[in-house]
Structure 1
Amino acid sequence: QQGVRIPVIGNGDILHYSDGRRMLSETGCAGVMIGRGALGNPWVFSPQGRPETLQGRLPVIHRHLELAQSYLDVDKMLFRLKNHACRYLSGLAGAGTIRTEIMRQKSFAELSSFFSAF
């Protein structure tokens, strides 16, 4: 940031909230930009981090589906929605079994019902 007149934005390898904070403190950059680190991990923006249980992650999954239904053609976007839902499960015990079931859902209504069952 020193020696330039424009804001410098840090980017790359930010997978946890602490990574962003570290980049800010170590580089003095004006801000950070997060890309892949946020895919399936909206908790990257929270100091508390990713919940360790499915029950802790379900509110975000439900909200994502709710917003998708409000703004997207959900049946055209079904594959992407299932992909995001699968990413939300990263690191959970038994996630593979749940992912298999997610991918079997043939419509947005089925996907939504699947998550409502939890």
Structure 2
Amino acid sequence: MKKITVDGGNQFFVYSDGTHYELRWEDNNYHPHVGKITQKDYEEYKADKRSGDDLLYKAAYGAWPPTEEQNRQGELEFLLSDLQMVHDISLPNDPNLFEEFPELKPEYEKWLSEQ
């Protein structure tokens, strides 16, 4: 394989033989890593549709990083899974929680009425 791209900001290299693509990088402890990416992944990166961080994430985990909406949905599901924690910890530390997650409030109020 031949080195085709050096991303100095994210400190990785992209190698390809024209058919297969891989990303090579070192972690904070200087351990080398190699992750496979597709030609489409590489093209999205080169076309600035994906950042170097995105490409590195894809090589490391096999999927693009979650979107803000996916992160938000995950946080909501976590909060809904433990309303006792919302009551004991989250609300006292974040009184604006219902502004950020308005769909949480009816479930929380229902849970409160059952206590």
Structure with the larger strand share: 2
Structure with the larger helix share: 1
Q: TM-score range by the shorter chain?
A: 0.3 to 0.5
Of structures 1 and 2, the larger Rg is shown by 2
TM-score (structure 2 length as normaliser):
0.35
TM-score (structure 1 length as normaliser):
0.34
